[in-house]
Amino acid sequence: MSTRRGYLQVGSDALLRRLGVDTDGIEWVPMEPGRMRGNLSAGVVDAVAAPLPLPLLLERDGARVVLNLAELRASTLDVFVAGRADWIADNRGLTESFRAALHDGIRLLGREPELAVRAQERFARLSPELSAAVTVGTYIETPAPDQLDFWIELMGSAHLIDHPIAAESLLVAR
């Protein structure tokens, strides 16, 4: 996985626990996505939690995908940006500027797919062929409370938060 305690680890742990696996014996080791295939092939690690589309390459190399994190929930946020509702409300100009920049970036990638391919090649280290085959993810401008509830549940199960948080407290009216 690329980072400790990130979505891949937390989501994998949650799914494994739902399947009855004791996750206490798993030792998570962060590594760069570009090293995952080699480390798996060399036996340095037993398994990897890999972001899409790396599982496609791993399958091509003979690996077997054993967990699909999409099984956790039908509609899962890949990335979301959160902050305290009061801070966001007090810094409305900054948050609106950030939201506008994200929106402009997504529109730009939608208009210029070759730019998206180059970005995936550079930052995700995908081959040009694979980058061209992978579509740019959708941008959810306003996440639904049930999507945030899912993340809150995952973070709580990983002991990343130690008190209940209401999804509504993270949403700020526009």
Question: Quick check: 101 pLDDT over 90?
Answer: no
Which residue has tokens 């949650």? 14
**Mean pLDDT along residues 101-124:** 80
The pLDDT value given to residue 64: 84
Domain boundary assignment for the chain: 7-72, 85-170
Q: With a cut of 90, say whether residue 56 has pLDDT above it.
A: no
Calculate the CA dihedral of residues 150, 119, 40, 138 and round it to 10 degrees. 20
Give, in order, the Cα–Cα distances in Å from 48 to each of 61, 68, 73, 78, 159.
13, 12, 21, 18, 22
Give the pLDDT band of residue 145 (cuts 50, 70, 90).
confident
Tell which wins on pLDDT, 63 or 173: 63
pLDDT for res 82:
64
Q: What is the mean pLDDT of residues 113-141?
A: 69
Distance CA 168, CA 172 (A): 8
pLDDT confidence band for 15 (50 / 70 / 90):
confident
125 pLDDT above the threshold of 70: no
d(CA 173, CA 142): 9
More confident residue, 55 or 40: 40
- Give the pLDDT score at 16: 85
> Would you say 12 and 49 are in contact if contact means Cβ atoms under 8 Å apart?
yes
